[in-house]
Amino acid sequence: MLTYNLNPHQSEPLYQQLYLALKNDITTAKLRGHEKLPSKRKLAKHLGLSVTTVDTAYQQLIAEGYLYSKPNSGFFVSDIQHVLISTDSPIRPVFHKTTSPVVDNSLLVPAKPYQHQQDFPFSVWSNLLKQVLNQDSHKLLEPAPSGGVQDLKEAIAQHLYDFRGMLVSPEQIIIGAGTEYLYSLISQLFGPKQHIAIEDPSYSRIAKVYLSHQIPLTYLPISADGINLKDLEQSRADILHISPSHQFPTGQVLPVNKRYQLLGWASQADNRYIIEDDYDSEFRFKHRPIPSLKEIDQSDKVIYMNTFSRSLLTTLRIAYMILPPKLLATFHDKLGFYSPTVSNLEQYTLARFISQGYFERHLSRMRLRYQKKLESCHQTIKKSPLKDKITITEDHSGLHFVLVVKTDLNEKDLVKNCRQKGILLSPLSDFAHNKATVPQNHFVIQYANMTTEEFVHLVATLEEVL
């Protein structure tokens, strides 16, 4: 029987302590692949815990891919040992600031991240902006390095350490005006000789940016557990662009065993890298956040990217990427001539917004608001005559979900009929390069943009059309 010393007086809750203990035993091979774990009741009784505590820990491990369950059989350890990356490299230095330097009657439901004005704390932002003008006016006159001002890079590094447990140096962080700009920098960094593989379907601008720089592209279809490793190997790509935390538009979360497989692929050649677009990672409503590829990368093969457009304002064009040390010098030599694309005033204001705790409080409010919105969508469907014909999938995280409509009606006819009634739907196929690989009558719903009344109207229209 598994035995762990869990302390109820620690700041970490008991379920988290148990989760971490089990995860450690799995990653260190103390628990082998396909080994059966004790039932929730047996382990709870043995450790003196509630069944709920054990169940919460088990469910988090299942969500991350460390465990899997079989109906009427129990819980088993996932076979991930063959994809764990061994390394002799020393532990990377920890950066921690305390220890080291719809218009009219239409519903628009495409990939258009927009937040209602009342969601953004304008008064706080205004006060911080005034502070920067009054206290740091001399900094505003100094030319900022192309990678961004140090204050913001330190604030981001600290936030990633606190929120994701990610260990990065501020010097690795590059600030840019939106992710499309950063895609452009990456294209120039690697050049047209490097072959990039992207997910299919995916955010359309990713391919557009790379193709505009004459980068050879391969589109990898997404299966039930993400892209297929054999497809990636056969593509002969040097770089993989992926959104593992909440893939757009499918909403899938990449399981941890697949994450290790991809890291293993990247470690097999010096010129291989993974671009991790951590899209929507701040908004997860069930269990703890799954570790990012960057967190578990031991070979410095991950270029991590994120943006504040989803979490703050779309018009606040501030994004960042974290470059591996091997690429950092090349970046500054090759692209360091670029002037910063985000003003000093915005950078210093955002730095204060993060470091003074406003960003985390804002995220907490938004998670609660969006979780309530999501629950409202579920309740609307449950009350509808269509409850057996429409289903919400992939809603554990992020600000969109996929609405599956069970009907014999052709997708084009369904979209056309809804459009005639003032509803503009976005089929999953609209985001696919190879439309034959995408299921029909799956629609991307940006629920964060919608009011309860708008979603009720959407469901009522589907009822009428069907």
Give per-residue pLDDT as tens, 36-84: 999 999 998 888 899 988 888 888 888 777 888 888 889 988 877 655 5
**The pLDDT value given to residue 394:** 66
Structural domains of the chain ordered from first start: 14-77 (1.10.10.10), 122-358 (3.40.640.10), 362-465 (3.90.1150.10)
Q: What pTM was computed for the model?
A: 0.77
CA atoms within 13 A on the CB side of 154: 13
* Number of Cα atoms under 13 Å in the Cβ half of residue 424: 14
Q: Using an 8 Å Cβ cutoff, are 409 and 336 in contact? A: no
In whole angstroms, give the CA distance from residue 373 to residue 394: 15
In b/e form, how buried is each residue of 224-252, taking b as 16+ CB within 10 angstroms?
Answer: eebbeeebbeebebbbbbbbbbbbbbbbb
pLDDT of 241 reads 96
Question: Is there a contact between 256 and 80 (Cβ–Cβ < 8 Å)?
Answer: yes
Instruction: Name the band, by pLDDT with cuts 50, 70 and 90, for residue 451.
Output: confident
Q: What percentage of residues in the chain have a pLDDT greater than 70?
A: 89
Determine how β-strand 74-77 pairs with β-strand 442-445: unpaired
For residue 369, the number of C-alpha atoms closer than 13 Å in the C-beta half-sphere is 18
Confidence check: pLDDT of 334 > 90? yes
pLDDT (tens digit per residue) in 173-191: 999 998 999 999 999 999 9
